[in-house]
Amino acid sequence: MTAAEQLTMAKALNLGLRRALADDQKVLLMGEDIGTLGGVFRVTEGLKAEFGENRVLDTPLAESAIVGTAIGLAMRGYRPVCEIQFDGFIYPGFNQITSQLAKLTYRHEGAQSFPVVIRVPYGGHIGAVEHHQESPEAYFAHTAGLRVVSPATPQDAYWMIQQAIASNDPVMFFEPKSRYWHKGEVDRELAPSAFQSSRVIRVGSEVTLVGHGAMVSTLLQAADIAAGEGTSVEVIDLRSLSPIDYEPILDSVRKTGRLVVAQEAPGMVSVGSEIAATVAERAFYSLESPVLRVSGFDTPFPPAKLEGIYLPDADRILEAVDRALAY
């Protein structure tokens, strides 16, 4: 039996990418500054030296070209992994992703697969400037033909990046950049869960909390505080935003009767909105209170000094828990 290692999420992703590169000669990494520099977050550090410049490619600053080139490579049998340097830089590549990549397998009636992974460091809590702390995942979860996933722990990051690369479907891989430097246990031999599955990570009986990515640690913090106040809270990590694995959520809501969905992204037409609507449809008679949402505000991401007001914290989540229990 191998011992689990304490690794940061950035290191876990690095090791996952290294293993995918070693296991399959058709895997390529592409992105701005990912080679010699190792990426702005050093997730790809050392991979160019180990696998060469033909498999770890520094690209021009042109997101549309990066994704378009990856589509062509996928058509020739490669498995390209693109890095979008920051979340807010993804929009120049939006047309290639949503108009081409997401639709090509359907257009070919399934005869041609497009195994492209697009890594997107996303979210706040790093004190950065405009276009560096956004949460654009709902655009892609809304787009048919794309898988959208987001790990919350180093263990999931290590395995889910490999599962995404092995998938024959295009995968949007949203990495919570504020968690890059947080350590957690990684067992490189433990069989992983299916990467489209959600998971109960804390058992409770009175309120269900659901979130993804960096929000999961905030939910656990809120659950700890609630427990100290005598409230039992269940926490579910979504892991996959498209498709969403609803059964653990519905099972939990049927037990607790209350649901709070939390996210960093704005609330309007969001992943949280979709979960709230679906639970209201499929578990209406189990609900003891309305489904409540806690999110970023419906504004552009503010200057860094205001991010603590904009981003949901444990206090805002606990306020929603109190409202749910008050019904």
Three-class SS state of 30: strand
230-247 pLDDT tens trace: 999 999 999 999 999 999
Where in 123-255 does DSSP place strands (E)? 147-149, 171-176, 183-186, 199-202, 207-211, 233-237, 240-242
Confidence of residue 2 (pLDDT cuts 50, 70, 90): low
List CB contacts of 84: < 8 A, sequence separation 6 or more.
31, 63, 66, 90, 93, 118, 119, 120, 121
d(CA 61, CA 38): 15
**Contact assessment for residue 61 and residue 32, using Cβ atoms and an 8 Å cutoff:** yes
Q: Which residue has the tokens 């290294």?
A: 18
130-150 pLDDT tens trace: 888 899 999 999 999 999 999
The catalytic residue positions are 132
d(CA 34, CA 54): 13
Cite the residue boundaries of each domain of the chain with CATH code 3.40.50.920.
199-326
Tokens of 302: 């503010």
Q: Around 241, how many Cα atoms within 13 Å sit in the side-chain half-sphere?
A: 30
Residue 82, pLDDT above cutoff 60: yes
Residue 156, pLDDT above cutoff 80: yes
Share of the chain above pLDDT 70, in %: 99
Q: What is the pLDDT of residue 131?
A: 86
**Contact assessment for residue 175 and residue 123, using Cβ atoms and an 8 Å cutoff:** no
d(CA 310, CA 295): 8
**From 3.40.50.620, 3.40.50.1860, 3.30.70.120, 3.40.50.920, which CATH number describes the 199-326 domain?**
3.40.50.920
Cite the residue boundaries of each domain of the chain with CATH code 3.40.50.970.
7-186
Domain 7-186 has CATH 3.40.50.970: yes
Q: What is the pLDDT of residue 126?
A: 85
Q: What is the pLDDT of residue 1?
A: 47
208-232 pLDDT tens trace: 999 999 999 999 999 999 999 999 9
d(CA 214, CA 178): 7
d(CA 251, CA 139): 27
d(CA 94, CA 97): 5
**Contact assessment for residue 238 and residue 247, using Cβ atoms and an 8 Å cutoff:** no
Q: Is the peptide bond before 243 cis (omega within 30 degrees of 0)?
A: yes
